[in-house]
Amino acid sequence: MSHLPLTRASVEDAHALIQPHIHRTPVLTNTTLSSLASTPQTTDALKGTQWEGQQPANPKFKLFFKCENFQKIGAFKVRGAFHAVIRLIQERGIEEVRKSGVVTHSSGNHAQALALAAKSFQIPAHIVMPKISTPSKIAGTQAQGAIVHFSGSTAQEREAAVAEVIAQTGATLIPPYDHPNIILGQGTMALEIQKEVQELLQGNSELGVHGDVRGIDAVIAPCGGGGMLSGIAVALHDTGVKVFSAEPSFQGGDDARRGVEAGERITTVKTLTIADGLRTPLGEYTWKIISDKSYVKGLYAVTEQNIKDAMKLVLERMKCFVEPSAVVGLATILYNENFRKMVEQEAPEEGWNIGVVFSGGNTTIDAITKMFADVPEETKEREEGVLGSDGKRVAENVAG
């Protein structure tokens, strides 16, 4: 597939193309979560972590949540999928594309997104999914009329299955993340975040840390294969808005962070983190952007418990249905002391208005129930708090 250069102007072109096919998702605020993020963790909460014995950071935040869980198919992936399919149609013509179809590999959200985009243009879609994919995501993909092929969970196993489908059908590969057309499509949400936060502040300047209509200072987004993070970074490059990455640390799921730290892309990752949408390594295109500090200023990681605690907060306090992958950015803001100290140092007086991407909501009540089944029975005092790992400080310091 041909593509435009990776620039903000190209993201704007992508946005114009896909707007008729996507929802403009809302940006929400939440006083409780902003207050919690602006409250230091207690020394007890830091026991057993790498920050034990250190003085807790005291940053200031106002959080603006970009709710892509309300997007079509329940995740941001439709942005890149529709953009890539439309560009392919422009390049080859609709009849030619319909003859052989399209193919991809995905744990679920891109699978459903490409299935929907292909269905919208009556194009056959072949989707390679790991056998361990969330059942609801498999069902959602099949519901769009796609032909599902199962594979192992590693990138190499997925790609081998895709190669077999291409050999049999001649289908065109629409990569899940590592292609400029995908990156540019995903980056369209950054344009919306900027505009929507500005509109909110014009309506009520007290929603921001600055007390005026200045917009977002930063955006933090989940990182798996890096298509969304790269797109956001491209869209916001040279705008003055800082971009950060959030990943799960479980079983080496923070491969982007570790790779950037080591100066070399990690090409294989095998993790069973509950953030199942983030079990993928960076690709060649996404690595070039994410490893460049002028695009992505910092990469951070959080634990499985951090993810569960953040998800519990969103479900209970925001009444917002999200999947685990969606909350790694919020978990970083709440629990990663390296990130919190950095913000405190960079903006000690006012703090930051920060855009937090909720990437998707494709999970189920059954999955959530199982996820929290191994959590011990909580005390009444803790249940009345808002921080899973430290109910005491929240109950004492943060209004519900």
Residue 28 CB contacts under 8 Å (≥ 6 apart), including other chains? 64, 65, 67, 318, 320
> Which residue carries 């179809």 as its tokens?
101
227-236 helix and 188-203 helix, angle to the nearest 10 degrees:
60
By annotation, the residues acting in catalysis are: 77, 107
Residue 143 CB contacts under 8 Å (≥ 6 apart), including other chains? none
CB–CB of 363/134 below 8 Å? yes
By the 10 Å C-beta count (0-12 exposed, 13-18 middle, 19+ buried), 252 is classed as middle
337-to-218, 302, 394 alpha-carbon distances in Å: 17, 10, 17
By the 10 Å C-beta count (0-12 exposed, 13-18 middle, 19+ buried), 346 is classed as middle
CB–CB of 323/71 below 8 Å? no
How many residues does the structure list for the chain?
400
